[in-house]
Structure 1
Amino acid sequence: MKDPIPPLPSTSQSSNPNPSTSNAQIIYILYLVSLVVGVTGIVGVIMAYVYRDTAPDWLRSHYRFQIRTFWIGLLYVVSGMLLSVVLVGFLLLLFWLIWLILRCVKGLQQLERREPISDVETWLWPK
């Protein structure tokens, strides 16, 4: 007798040789929009955590980079806010603004070329 329920499609990394990069693109854009709106960065990091496990290695590097961007950026913002009492924090917040834009632009460029992030562990921006 034939099985009435077909098997579920495999979610292994090799099953999709041409994965969509739209989720990673959306996360970079959410990070950039967070400069104006604020909360979209939280949505972006949650998305990165959700999608990273099913992505191929090169795309997983983008999700890891995005997760690190959120947490390192949060550290910069909190430090900048605390140090703004002594005016040094404003420089740190300006650095964070430029840093976030550069990381997102570099990430989007490498994503467009379907390349992994060259240096996921960096605290600055990829080469």
Structure 2
Amino acid sequence: MNDEIKRYLEPGKKNLILVYILYLGGIIIPILPVIGVVFAFANMNHDDNRWRSHYIFAFRTFGFGLLGIFVAMITTLIFIGPILYMVVFVWFVVRSIVALQFLLEGSSHPNPLTFWIK
């Protein structure tokens, strides 16, 4: 396997960039966030607190997004669902972009346990 590919698969900054790119790639190919959450879950107990905060945040982003989609599916019957789908979509994208900005700055996520954006 190529050394550059291996660096993206090992826990750390490059792997987190891959996770957030997979999340954002889910806009076009919906299965990509599932691959990203597998990486986030596998590396959630990383030794470095800076990266651990991002892995926890990424895992919780996927979990809350999945819960939001489930609620939107149920509420589709009362015509609120399409609005909820859009809200969850925008929330997921904005949350991923903000976390990617923290990551590219090299800082830990300030509050990885939050439901909100940051």
1:38 deviates by: 1.1
Larger radius of gyration: 1
Indicate whether 1:23 and 2:15 are aligned.
yes
Q: Which moved more, 1:44-53 or 1:107-116?
A: 44-53
Deviation string for 1:100-126 (max 9, x for gaps)?
111111001000111111111211211
2:49 to 36, 57, 64: 57
Contact 2:54 2:109 (8 Å CA) reproduced = yes
Question: What does 1:1-127 correspond to in 2, within 5 Å?
Answer: 20-126=12-118
Deviation string for 1:62-91 (max 9, x for gaps)?
000000001100000011111111111111
TM-score (norm 2): 0.85
CA distance in 2, matches of 1:35, 1:95: 14
Structure 2 SS opposite 1:38:
coil
Structure 2: which 5+ residue stretches go unaligned? 1-10
Identity, in percent, stands at 28
Structure 1: which 5+ residue stretches go unaligned? 1-18
CA distance in 1, matches of 2:46, 2:91: 28
Runs of 4+ aligned structure 1 residues displaced above 4 Å come to: none
TM-score (norm 1): 0.80
Contact 2:40 2:58 (8 Å CA) reproduced = yes
1:59 deviates by: 0.7
Contact 2:16 2:55 (8 Å CA) reproduced = yes
Q: Does the C-alpha gap of structure 1 residues 41 and 61 become closer, same or farther in structure 2, counting only changes over 3 Å? A: same
Larger helix share, 1 or 2: 2
CA-atom RMSD in angstroms: 1.3
